[in-house]
Amino acid sequence: MSARIGPRRHALLQPRVAVPFVLVALIWGATWLVIKDQLAAAPPSWSVTYRMAIATTGMFLLAARARRGFTMTASGHLLAVFIGLFQFFLNFNLVYRAELHLTSGLVAVLFGLLMVPNAILGLLFLGEAITRRFLLGTLLGVGGIALLLVHEANEAPPAGQVGLGVLFVLMALLSTSAANVLQATETARRRPLLLLLAWSMLWGTLADAAFAWSMSGPPVFPDSARYWGGIVYLALAGSVVAFPLYFSLIRELGPGRAAYNGAVVPVVAMALSTMFEDYRWSALAASGGVLALLGMVIALRGREAPMRQGRL
């Protein structure tokens, strides 16, 4: 008699998914305000460079603890260069510039749309199907994000060049999505995650430094302890801890479903603001948060089997 196959467990009920999912949402939910706090202290590109330089050091230390060595093939370095340029150079520089024109809440909420380009690129380059369940969840999630976006705009109307800020965020979304899909390919999955991330961060940091020097001149070193505390938090918690967890989610769930973490981040950010900044929830914000979470639950339901292998 064949064994009976029980119902598939919800992806978020599996510890290997739930633990990194929650940790990444908590960590990244606190990063947006930290970024905003740094913009007046130093040129954005140098802040990105300092963050990534510290993160690169930390990531190589993690890779060293895995005792796999630091060598990679030429094809591995080529992959690391592209991930570094998309994720740790273009994405971060665009996000920091977006926050010059938009509130951190608006940027965080807009970034929750990452699930859309991730799903589309995952379909085109990885052959990852967009199921009806995922499509329904995404529609609900996008609806929730839209309500959060309206709420944030009403509470803190953007004072800068709004269109330019939105353009920066959309470009950051595309560059991040490209890095996410690259990380999910079979070529990337054959390489140790920590080592690939360490080299990606190094190549991204070199690009950050070259860009910062060309755009803003020699390095600027603020004398604010608060600024450097923020840099260390963003580097160690926001990058060294969060990126291995998030990229492991991409390899486990695929880029589309893993990006649902971004729909939860603004909800976490507002929850933290409620605890520490006396943030008041409106009906609009609460409705948006509920829709975003409901969409996430529907989109991730029953995702037990590993994602299909990428074709690249």
pLDDT, tens digit, for every residue of 84-110? 999 999 999 998 888 887 777 677 777
DSSP 3-state of 267: helix
Residue 10 domain flag: no
Distances (CA, A) of 119 to 107, 132, 257, 306: 20, 13, 8, 16
Counting the structural domains of the chain, the total is 1
Is 309 domain-assigned?
A: no
Run of H or E including 121:
helix 115-121
What is the C-alpha to C-alpha distance for residues 60 and 303, in angstroms, rounded to an integer?
A: 32
- 193: in domain: yes
Q: Are 23 and 238 in contact (CB under 8 A)?
A: no
What is the tens place of the pLDDT at every residue in 217-247? Answer: 999 999 999 999 999 999 999 999 999 999 9
Give 159-169 pLDDT, tens digit per residue. Answer: 656 778 888 98
Predicted pLDDT at 266: 75
Residue 268's SS3 state is: helix
Domain membership of residue 307 (yes or no) is: no
Residue 148 burial class via C-beta count within 10 angstroms: exposed 0-12, middle 13-18, buried 19 and up: buried
Mean pLDDT over each residue of the chain, to the nearest integer: 82
Q: In the chain, what's the furthest Cα-to-Cα distance?
A: 73
pLDDT band at 305 (very low <50, low <70, confident <90, very high): very low
Q: Is residue 95 assigned to a domain?
A: yes
Range of the domain at 45: 24-300
More confident residue, 142 or 83: 83
In this prediction, residues 56-65 reach a mean pLDDT of 93
Q: Is 13 part of any domain?
A: no
Amino acid at 43: P
Distances (CA, A) of 153 to 102, 116, 265, 267: 9, 22, 17, 15
Q: What distance in Å separates the CA atoms of residue 133 and residue 260, rounded to the nearest whole number?
A: 14
Q: Which two tokens stand for residue 72?
A: 């990679």
Q: What is the pTM of this model?
A: 0.82
